[in-house]
Structures are given as structure tokens and as C-alpha cells.
Chain A
Amino acid sequence: MNPAASVFLLMVIALIVFLLPLLPVAVELHGKSDVQPLQVIQQHSGEASYFGDSFRVYIDNIRPVLNDCFAQGTAAKGTLPDGAPCLVLGRGEDAPLIADIQAGGTCDMILASSTDLELPSNTFFPKDIYSNGCVNGGPSNTYRAVLAEHEVRLGAGSRVMRWVQAGTEFTAQSQCQLFSRVSAGRLIRLLEDCRFIRLHAPRIETGSVSPEAADTHVLRRHGNDGVRRLHNADLSIAAGELLRGDLVVRGRLTIGEAARIEGSVKCEKDMVLGPRVEISGTVVTERRLQVGPYCILHGPVIAERGLLIARGTRCGARDMPTTVTAPRIMVETGVVVFGTMWAREQGEVIAAV
């Protein structure tokens, strides 16, 4: 071969080898197959009731059928505009009598009821449920999602895979597992051994709490004096002590019985609150937080690793709701939270010691 041609060929081959890895670049630049900006949800901010509210809009498609069935006291089968099969009940209390909703089976249709809905036990509901009244579920059921305009009562050992929204009250009997968000217009009550992720209601109770007990002691938030105290080591605050201003502690923090803090508290290690501690602001720890019995915590409660709340404690107030959040939350029966309780990994209601 001509030497000049050989050199030229070599250069061409070298150029091809060099450019070959850039071929995908050229294809992507020309084809623009992945040019959408990262999706940022602009219209809502992930409210607990978002799914329930969206489902209500969806179910409005069959509102006339619901009304007809209610007027005639009958049931009807059909499909929603997107082709999803749907069972409409004019009388929700008749549900256990309908072949598609037999106990121990699977009801593979969206269920919509004009009145209170009675559901049998040991049944799997892989599609969403709507009731214009209440939903009373039997024990050991598994639900995908439930929306009720009034109360939702789940039997012991029930499971919810996605969400529940109750217009007024939500009650879960013992050993229920709520894998995602639960919201209610008035009250959420979880009994012993229930597990949860995200709860949102004006009032959240674990176990039985007398309504008065939790509301009698209302600590108003005081404007603190703007002082921020920084403490570089472990710190113990004595029982009964009163502290005004914000406190930031680099080590462990222990707050003694009946101490009062009129401000917020931050701790970079574990924090232990004794019985009847009152804190008017936020409680934050980068590790674990243990809240003793009968504490009153007014502001948000944030524990980055884990949180244990003992009986009789109250977080937030009726007119000043708040958020309690940690990856893992263990909460004894007899606790009241006004607002949101959010366990990223798992929350659990345990018996009061």
C-alpha cells in the first residue's frame, strides 16, 4: 500500500476510535430524548388528604348512579370513565350479602356506597373504597385505600396499603397496620399494637384518652427573650427549673421532672425529657428522643433517629397544631398529638408501662 495512504488510513482509524465513544453524545444531542427538567410538583405540597381529595373528584363521575341506587335501595355494577370496574351500593349495610364482597374473598372492584358501608372480615379489597357515610370494616381485612365522608372504623388486624381519609373520625382497633397516610377531619384514634407511617388530624389519640385530660393544661407559647444559649458538652437541667430562651446543646441533654423551657431546645445527641416537662417551642435532636410521661410539648418535635413518647404526653394544642416526626416512633397509649405524626420508617403504638 502507498505509504501516504497507509498514514491517512491510520489517521482515519484513530479518529474513528477517538470519536466512537462520542457517538451516544451525538445521538442524544440530536435526538433530545431526555431534556425534560427535573419534575418539581408546582400545584400541591403533598398534603395528607391529597389522595383522598383526588379520589373524591374521581368518584364524582358516578355521583348520579350513587344517588339513583340510594333512592331505589339497589346495587349496580358498571365501569368508570377510565374503564375501572365499579360496584355501587345504594344501601351500604347490604354489602356482606353481595356475592362480590363475601367474607374471606377478594372484592376486585372499586366499591362506592351511598350510605354507611358494612364490610365483612378477612377480605381483600385491592381497589379503592368510597362511602358517602361511614365505613365499618371487619377484622383482618386488607384495603388499598378508603375514603369516607364520615367515620372509618377498621377491625382488629386490618391493613391499609395506601391511604385512608375520614371526614370526621378514624379508629383503628388493635394490631392494625397503616402503611401510608391516614387523615381525618376531627380525630384519629389508634389502639394498642397499631403500626403507622403518617397521621394527620386535628387530634390524634393513642389508646383511650379522656378528652378533658389532654386539654386542661394549655401552655401558651411565650415570646422568648431572643437569647440563644450554646452549650458545648452534655447538659442536665434540674427538676423544676425554669429556663427562658432557646437552648442548643452539643452533647446529651437531660431535662428533669417538671422543668419548664420557654423557648426551643436543640440537642446534637440523645435527649431525655423527664415526667411533666413543658416546652413551649420546638424540640429537636439529631439522635434519639425519649419523652417522659405527662409532658407538654408545644412546638414541633423532631428526632432524627428515633422517638419514644410516654403516656399522658401532649404535643401541640387544639388551636396550635404541630408535627411530631422521626424515622421510628414508638408511642405509648394515652398520648395526644394535635396535627401530624409522621414516622418515615415505622410508627408503633405500644402499651403504657
Chain B
Amino acid sequence: MIYSLYAIVALICIYTARHYWFTLNRVFGFQRHPYIDIDTADWPAVTVLVAAHNEEKVIANILGALMRVNYPADKMLVIPVNDRSTDRTRHIIDEFVERFAGRIRPFHRTSGKAGKAAALKDAMEFVESEVILIFDADYIPAAGLIKQLTAPFFDPGVGGVMGRVVPMNVSTNLLTRLLDLERSGGYQVDQQARMNLRLVPQHGGTVAGVRRSALREIGGWNDSSLTEDTDLTYRLLLHGWKTVYQNRSECYEEVPETWPVRIRQIMRWAKGHNQAMVAYAVRLLLGRHRARLRERLDGTLLLGVYIMAPLTLLGWILALLAFYRGLAPLHGVLALLALTAYAAIGNLAAFFEIAAAVRLDGNRRRLCLLPCLLLGFTVSILSVSRAVVSQVWDALSGAEFHWDKTERFRKVES
């Protein structure tokens, strides 16, 4: 028991050190933005896939925004992937097709496997360009975003690109404000540090792009994955393609406004991420492929982020058991010192990362909400642990994964 506890504490310490390393790199290190200055070029043909399943509240916003971007109109084709919608999504898309003839080619999917990856997989037969950009329907791209996300594909080593997601409904309630803080830490520090350090920036599946030839090489979209973006990141990496992060390619999104929606979202992410962990962790760490050692290590740690939640819970239980059984790890005093040091420094790591990110974004007062993140973290730990238990149960019982679509909260414009 005590050795399991040591192992869990060691893992937590590794992740703590990683938080600090990323934050210090982001604050003091050399910042890589190699493609952001490409503003003049012979821009390639681009296909923009907009994944939409019952998106009547938001689909008009993104299609309207895409029609206003500054990418050459004759080189950009928008394909709304209307995946078995039962609301007015189809009607709204068809109105846009009529208004912007030749610039939007709808794909109304009426049957087939559920899930975004399956829908994108089916949509690929309509894609003719080498560069594919992907947006979820609740995003609102700015005028220059398509060029910014396309620019990295001039680099022949780049297989995938990821932009920054910015919550727009921050002010709604405590949850949206906490998610704003988490997104800030995740993108402004975590993703950018990975880019700086040439590690493994993660493809997010929206505000993102993929090279068609790279996608073909790795076998296309994996429609059995709940998080096709994580799956894509690792398959690109194993085949020698880079995924790059563009911190200044920002795009507004709508974050969940209720806790049940947030919990369902995080459970889907956890299950999908853990699917990828099972599929790729050993191969990434030990297999023969083109990833560098630092990418192998960081990629493996990234795959493990969701499994750390149940492990942390297990660690707490083991620590209590050790206490009540009178065990004194490291002769008591040392353990006390370790606990104090971890409580003072270790637990602070994630908060430090988020605080640094918020300041880098130029914000200040919202830092007052940092203590509330304890609530968010607790919900995350419990939700992820529940997801892991349910995933193991599903695997044992042979049940299929269920796709949970994230509910939208935007008011429909009249």
C-alpha cells in the first residue's frame, strides 16, 4: 500500500514540476510564433468544415462570420457538416447556401454513426483542398483567422494546427468565469509553453486545421474515438507530423453555463482522452517512430492528465488508510516536511499557471476568483473519476460509448 502511495505522490510531483516548468517558460522563455507574421502569400485552397448537430442557436453566427473573413473567396469553401439535425439547422444552412452561392457546399448527413469524428469522416469525400480547417458551430471566427490558421501549413513538417479558444459568455455566472480562467491557463500558458519547448501542443478539434495528405497518411478520422482531436494529435505525432499552436489565432466560443452540461462535457473528454491513452501511451513512449524523446515524455504525460484525477482520489484514500494503520512513511518527520512542502508549493502549481495566464492576458481583478477554482477542480476530479469508473464498466460489459453533445445557451437572433 505504502509503495502505491509513494508512486502516486511521485506522479503528482512530476505533474507539479511540469506546471511550474511551463509557467516559467511562458513568462520568461523565448516565445515561438513562427507563422503569425505570414500576411502575404499565394494562399492555398482551404476547406472549412463546420460540425453541426442541432445548432439552430449558433449556426448562423459562424456562417455569417466565415463569409466576412479576409481569405480569398475563390480559395475558400465552407462545408457545414449538418449531422442528423432535427431542429432548424438544415433550413438555416440552406438559406446561407442560397445567399452565398458557390462559397458554401452543405453536407446534410441523415444517417450513419453518431459523433463528430464519424460526421467529419463522411464529409471528407467532399473535401478537395490540401488544407482543412475545422470549427464547432458555436465559434465565431474573426476576419483574419482563416489566414492565421492556414499559414502554418506552408511548413511542410506541419500536419495539424490549433488556435486559441476564448470564452465569450464569461459574465454569465460563476461557472463561466471559472471556465474562462481555466481556458486562459490551458491556452495562454500550457499550449504556448508546449509550442515554445517543441513538445506536443494538443489539437483541439476546433479552431484547428489538418493537412489532408497527413490525415490520409494516418488513416483518416477515427470514428470510434470520443475525442477525435486527441486521437489525431497522437497519430500525427507517431507519423512524424507536427501539431503547432498559434496563441494569437484567437476565436470566441461559448462555454457551458450549467454544471450538468459541464460535467457531461468533461466526462466525454476524460473518456476520449483515456481511450487515446490506452491506444497510444506505450507505443508513444517505447515504440519505434519519429517522435523525439522530449515529445515522447511530454506526450505520455499529456495522455495521463485525466487518469491523474482518480489516482489523486486513490492517493487520498491510501494516505488516510496509512494514517489509521499507524504507518509513518519516511519516518514521519520527513513525510510531514514533504506534505508541508507539497501543500505550500505543489498545490499552488495549477493556480500559479492560471494566475500567470490571466496576467499575460492583461486581466487583473478576475484573479480574485482563483480560490473558487478549488470548486472547479473538485468537480473535475469527481467527474473524471466517475467517467473512468463508467469507462471501465463499459469495457467490461461490452457497452458502446455514448456521444454527449454539448448544449448551447446562446439566444437565437430574430
Contact = CB atoms under 8 A, between A and B. Distances in A.
Interface string B278-295: 000000000000100000
A37 B167 contact: yes
A264 B240 CA distance: 16
B40 A322 contact: yes
A50 to B, nearest CB: 11
Nearest to A44: B143
Contacts of A21: 371
B38 A38 contact: no
A320 B42 contact: yes
B156 A263 contact: yes
Contacts of A302: 34-35, 38, 154-155
A200 B368 CA distance: 43
B144 A40 contact: no
A323 B38 contact: yes
Contacts of B369: 25, 28-29
Contacts of B184: 38
B41 to A, nearest CB: 6
A302 B154 CA distance: 10
A135 interface: no
Interface in B321-368: 361, 363-366, 368
Contacts of A36: 170-171
B156 A228 contact: yes
B180 interface: yes
A251 interface: no
Interface of B: 32, 34-35, 37-42, 65, 70, 140, 142-145, 147-148, 151, 154-157, 166-171, 174, 177, 180, 184, 198, 213, 240, 250-252, 290, 361, 363-366, 368-369, 371-372
Contacts of A48: 39
Contacts of A35: 170-171, 177, 366
A230 interface: yes
Given A34-B364, A40-B166, A340 B39 contact: yes
A108 B70 CA distance: 37
Interface string A266-285: 10000000000000011010
Contact of B368 (A24, A47, A284, A300): A24
Given A44-B144, A264-B154, A33 B365 contact: yes
A46 B70 CA distance: 11
Contacts of A24: 368
A37 B180 contact: yes
Nearest to B71: A45
Contacts of B169: 37
- Across the A-B interface, the 6 shortest Cβ-Cβ residue pairs: A45-B144, A34-B365, A246-B156, A35-B171, A339-B40, A24-B368
Contacts of B171: 32, 35-36
Nearest to B33: A344
Given A29-B369, A339-B40, 9 more contacts: A29-B177, A37-B166, A38-B166, A42-B143, A44-B143, A45-B39, A247-B156, A300-B151, A323-B38
